[in-house]
């Protein structure tokens, strides 16, 4: 269920100039980066790109969701890492993205790790926002 405007606790504001070959900055100045298409897409690859920014945000958000689930399940996820791989490619509608979320959770067995990752995928705001719109593969 979508949240209502009155429920919003924080709003991030970022402005892009010149799309994939320019600059992106937040209104508070904490993020100000040059963006360029990667070499694989015909660009210079000199700056970051939207897929890297999305991967960074998704992995951080998913790690947070993993922590929430771990506390509920009384599981130890200390020392864990979450990696998001974001791929972009052509599809029937032009371009689309695909995501692979990999988690390493050293203090639990494989079955527990898989269960925690699946539960985190259900509560992660990025996962919820992308559900049905992109393919997200989970791995532990």
CATH topology of domain 50-138: GMP Synthetase; Chain A, domain 3 (3.30.300)
pLDDT digits (tens, 9 = 90+) for 79-89: 999 999 999 99
Look at the domain 5-41 and name its fold.
N-terminal domain of TfIIb (2.20.25)
Which pLDDT score, from 0 to 100, does residue 133 have? 85
pTM of structure: 0.93
For the chain, percent helix, then strand, then coil, each to nearest 5? 35, 30, 35
Q: Of 50-54, 64-68, 128-132, which range is least confident?
A: 128-132
How crowded is the C-beta side of 1, counted as CA atoms within 13 Å? 3
| Range(s) of the chain covered by CATH 3.30.300.20 | 50-138
For residue 8, count other CB atoms closer than 10 A to its CB: 8
What tens digit of pLDDT does each residue of 2-45 get? 788 899 999 999 999 999 999 999 999 999 999 999 999 999 99
Count CA atoms within 13 Å of residue 11 on its CB side: 8
Residue 78 DSSP one-character state: T
All CATH 2.20.25.10 domain ranges of the chain, comma separated, are: 5-41
Give the closest residue to 23 by CA, choosing from 47, 55, 52. 47
């Amino acid at each position: 269920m979508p949240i209502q405007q009155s429920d919003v606790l924080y709003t991030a504001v970022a402005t892009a100039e010149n799309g994939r070959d320019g600059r992106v900055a937040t209104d508070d100045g904490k993020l100000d980066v040059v963006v360029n298409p990667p070499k694989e897409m015909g660009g210079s690859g000199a700056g970051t790109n939207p897929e890297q920014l999305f991967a960074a945000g998704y992995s951080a958000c998913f790690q947070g969701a993993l922590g929430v689930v771990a506390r509920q399940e009384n599981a130890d996820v200390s020392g864990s890492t979450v990696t998001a791989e974001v791929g972009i490619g052509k599809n029937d509608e032009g371009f689309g993205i695909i995501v692979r979320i990999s988690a390493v959770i050293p203090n639990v067995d494989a079955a527990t790790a898989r269960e925690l990752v699946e539960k985190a995928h259900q509560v992660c705001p990025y996962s919820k926002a992308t559900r049905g719109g992109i393919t997200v593969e989970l791995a532990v």
